[in-house]
């Protein structure tokens, strides 16, 4: 019998890595929405809906809408009790005019970026500050020393990384320990269709005490089932967004993938979930995943996504998902390095 536990929709909280910090297992992210696709009033309504449904953790980055997304989130959270929130942001990609030092993980860019992020977010500290990619052009020792100083200054409570390989995580973790702080998280892409972290990154993180905060658990919307093989994408969907969404989703828009995704509908129906809820619940079955990042352009989407919280899929459901998707799943651990920038992006 395929199915899920009856407790979905009640927010649960998980420890982030080997730390005492608890975060909501559904975390609200504002990539590709705030400051670009969604007007500020709608973005604020989505944040309020997230708070109303038990989400306490909010993830952003300075590069989103070239710093505008941080400002929108700061305004939306204004007046909330700061101690009840976990606010995450990131540093690496170019910001501002994109000058020679407006990018990467140099000490200069990190120290200037944290100050800018705190100002836009209207807070004295972030709970988690993340290296948005690995910087091949800055000594790792320089990067980790800057993070150590930010932690000691109280501007960030914890440090994480995003889309680092297992070897990069291991090297960063060792330096962090030498400097007296700890890496506690990794933020990779992870979904039923994109499982490249399972063979190397997840075992390494489990060994070292890091959790995953996964982005794109619904594969840019493909796992909702709204994209049909042989049909044009629905008007207004991410696949039609020329501001970046269409590029990000393109890898999943093949008919063979879309046909396989349609086979998930009976699995979702049997479990009493929507396709999106099934996808979010699936990533949360991984013990090393602390949270699934979800975005929204409407408050109703937040309400629906939160129903995946607390859901436990049974073994039959997990097998049925694997059977439905078959060989369209990407598992190659080398894809993390392949998709990483080979040098700083100016």
- Asked if residue 312 lies in contact with residue 246, where contact means CB atoms within 8 angstroms, the answer is no
Residue 283: per-residue pLDDT: 98
pLDDT in tens, 27-42: 999 876 555 556 678 8
281 in Cβ contact with 307 (< 8 Å): no
Percent of the chain with pLDDT over 90: 84
pLDDT at 137: 96
Given a cut of 50, the residues of the chain with pLDDT beneath it are 1, 6
Q: How far is CA 230 from CA 27, 255, 276, 341, in A?
A: 33, 6, 21, 33
Evaluate whether 11 touches 54 at the Cβ level (below 8 Å).
Answer: yes
What pLDDT score does 228 carry?
94
272-313 per-position pLDDT tens digit: 999 999 999 999 999 999 999 999 889 999 999 999 999 999
pTM of the model: 0.94
Counting every residue written for the chain, the total comes to 346
For residue 43, which phi and psi values (nearest 5 degrees)?
Answer: -60, -45
Evaluate whether 306 touches 341 at the Cβ level (below 8 Å). Answer: no
* Cα–Cα distance for residue pair 185/276, rounded to 1 Å: 24
Strands 13-15 and 22-24: antiparallel
Question: How much is the pLDDT for 1?
Answer: 41
pLDDT at 297: 85
The pLDDT of residue 344 is 82
92 belongs to the catalytic site: no
Active-site annotation holder among 28, 64, 158, 190 = 64
Query: What domains does the chain contain, in order, with CATH numbers?
Result: 13-338 (3.20.20.100)
């Amino acid at each position: 019998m395929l199915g899920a536990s009856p407790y979905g929709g009640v927010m649960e909280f998980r420890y982030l890595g080997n730390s005492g910090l608890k975060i909501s297992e559904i975390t609200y992210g504002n990539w590709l929405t705030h400051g670009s696709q969604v007007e500020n009033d709608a973005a604020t309504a989505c944040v309020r809906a997230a708070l109303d449904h038990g989400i306490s953790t909010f993830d952003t980055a300075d590069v989103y809408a070239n710093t505008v997304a941080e400002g929108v989130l700061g305004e939306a959270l204004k007046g909330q009790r700061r101690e009840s929130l976990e606010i995450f942001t990131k540093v690496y990609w170019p910001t501002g005019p994109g000058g020679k030092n407006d990018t990467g993980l140099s000490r200069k860019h990190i120290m200037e970026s944290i100050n800018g992020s705190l100002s836009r977010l209207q807070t004295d500290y972030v709970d988690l500050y993340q290296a948005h990619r690995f910087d091949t052009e800055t000594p790792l020792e320089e990067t980790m020393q800057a993070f150590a100083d930010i932690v000691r200054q109280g501007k960030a409570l914890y440090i994480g990384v995003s889309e680092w390989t297992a070897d990069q995580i291991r090297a960063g973790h060792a330096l962090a320990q030498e400097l007296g702080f700890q890496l506690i998280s990794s933020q990779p892409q992870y979904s039923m269709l994109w499982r490249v972290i399972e063979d190397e990154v997840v075992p390494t993180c489990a060994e070292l005490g890091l959790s995953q905060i996964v982005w794109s658990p619904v594969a840019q919307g493909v796992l909702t089932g709204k994209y049909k093989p042989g049909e044009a994408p629905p008007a207004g969907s991410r696949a039609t967004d020329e501001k970046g969404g269409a590029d990000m989703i393109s890898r999943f828009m093949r008919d063979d993938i879309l046909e396989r995704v349609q086979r998930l509908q009976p699995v979702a129906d049997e479990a009493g979930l929507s396709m999106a809820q099934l996808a979010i619940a699936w990533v949360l079955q991984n013990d090393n995943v602390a949270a699934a990042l979800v975005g929204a352009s409407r408050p109703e989407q937040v309400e629906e996504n939160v129903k995946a919280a607390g859901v436990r899929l049974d073994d039959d459901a997990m097998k049925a998902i694997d059977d439905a998707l078959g060989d369209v799943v990407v598992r190659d651990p080398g894809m993390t390095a392949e998709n990483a920038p080979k040098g700083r992006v100016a």
